Amino acid sequence: MKVRLFILSLLVLALVSEPVVLYASPASSAQAAAAKRRAKAKAKREKEKEAQRRKAKRQRIKEGKLLLYIYSYDLKTGEQLPVTHIQLQDVNARPNKRLLINKPTDQKKARLSKTLPEGKYWVYASKIGYFASDTIYYEHREDEDTIRLALYPETRLTLTVTDSLTSRPVVANVIVRNHEQRKVMQTTSDSLHAVLAVLLDDRLPYYTIEATAVNYHPFHDTIADPHHYSGIVMTPKEMRSFVLRDMYFATGKTQILESSEGALNELFQFLTLRPELRIRIVGHTDDIGSDRSNQILSEGRCRSVRQAMVDRGIDIRRIEIVGRGERDPIVPNDSEENRQKNRRVEIVLL
């Protein structure tokens, strides 16, 4: 009885209730229609594009011109390389004939496309920061063909050429050879910075390096790892003394000027790297003033240099001092330029 009453109540509610109508707002209907139109237009464009591609393909085949894509890629990473300069020439072309392709690949797609007749070609690629590709022989037959050219990144080796005693730059003739003893580079180092940049291929097992300079022993070494090469150190021939360059004092005094810090640090490093070495500091002046005053001045300047080394931690017993005054000029004291050359501090190795 209760079940019948429950079913009857449900029927009554269904009769008196208002029907629920689901509907979409005008705005959402318009958006859906617009999206449908866009999708239809896109499909139409793609269809037209495919039709044009097929038409162009038929035309190329009719004219005997086939589509060729050229890519270049990094042999180490496999990534495609944009803006790679491509050169392509017909194998049977005269040597002075204009290249069929002589331009860079695209920036975004990293490729170059060209319609060419079926035939045989030479292809070559180059890019800054990479070794140039091999010139390859290619036979073009397919309607849509692809050439992939491998480029290997260069390894930049920075060389410094310095004096073993003073650590100063040395002007030297430098030759770098590969494992087959072929020259990779031959140049002269700079007298100011003595820094050379050499491009090496780290796929090869090793390189040899040679350096020659006036009054220096020849240098020869093997480069096993270009990334961690220390540089070229030239050893002087029978050199027992050198002038401490860029050493400046107050006029007529023993006070060392701040501009001499570089020279003092250089001498300190020189002594630190050779703990067994003893030196003699020899002071020289020009001819301005009396012999006695110049002698005293040269001795005082030597003491100042020695004290600068002692203050940095060098044992005083390793350093002798001698003042020579104006007795040993290297050039006549007939001009200010020559007098400046004669005012010098010399380091003698003991």
- Between CA 232 and CA 167 the distance in angstroms is 11
Predicted pLDDT of residue 239: 67
Q: What would the CATH number be for the domain defined by 59-153?
A: 2.60.40.10
Residues 166 and 270 sit within 8 Å (Cβ to Cβ)? yes
The 10s digit of each residue's pLDDT in 2-20 is 556 556 565 555 554 545 4
Closest C-alpha among 229, 246, 232 to residue 167: 232
Predicted pLDDT of residue 57: 61
Average pLDDT, the chain: 80
Strands (E), the chain: 65-74, 85-90, 101-104, 111-117, 119-126, 130-131, 136-140, 144-153, 155-163, 173-177, 183-188, 195-200, 207-212, 219-223, 232-234, 241-243, 279-284, 319-323, 344-349
Tell me: pLDDT of 189 over 80.
Answer: no
- Between CA 189 and CA 169 the distance in angstroms is 8
| Better-predicted residue by pLDDT, 97 or 302 | 302
- For the chain, where do the domains classified as CATH 3.30.1330.60 start and end? 241-349
Q: What string of H, E and C letters represents the secondary structure of 52-90? A: HHHHHHHHHHHHCEEEEEEEEEECCCCCECCCCEEEEEE
Predicted pLDDT of residue 11: 57
Closest C-alpha among 241, 331, 330, 325 to residue 283: 325
Q: Rounded mean pLDDT of 316-320?
A: 91
| Out of 82-91, 228-237, 329-338, least confident range | 228-237
- Between CA 92 and CA 95 the distance in angstroms is 9
Q: Is 273 helix (H, G, I), strand (E, B) or coil?
A: helix
Q: Which pTM was predicted? A: 0.43
| Better-predicted residue by pLDDT, 347 or 28 | 347
Query: What fold is seen in the domain 241-349?
Result: 60s Ribosomal Protein L30; Chain: A; (3.30.1330)
Q: What would the CATH number be for the domain defined by 155-234?
A: 2.60.40.10
Structure tokens at 10: 């449900």
- For the chain, where do the domains classified as CATH 2.60.40.10 start and end? 59-153, 155-234
Tell me: pLDDT of 46 over 90.
Answer: no
Residues 339 and 299 sit within 8 Å (Cβ to Cβ)? no
Model confidence band, residue 56 (pLDDT cutoffs 50, 70, 90):
low
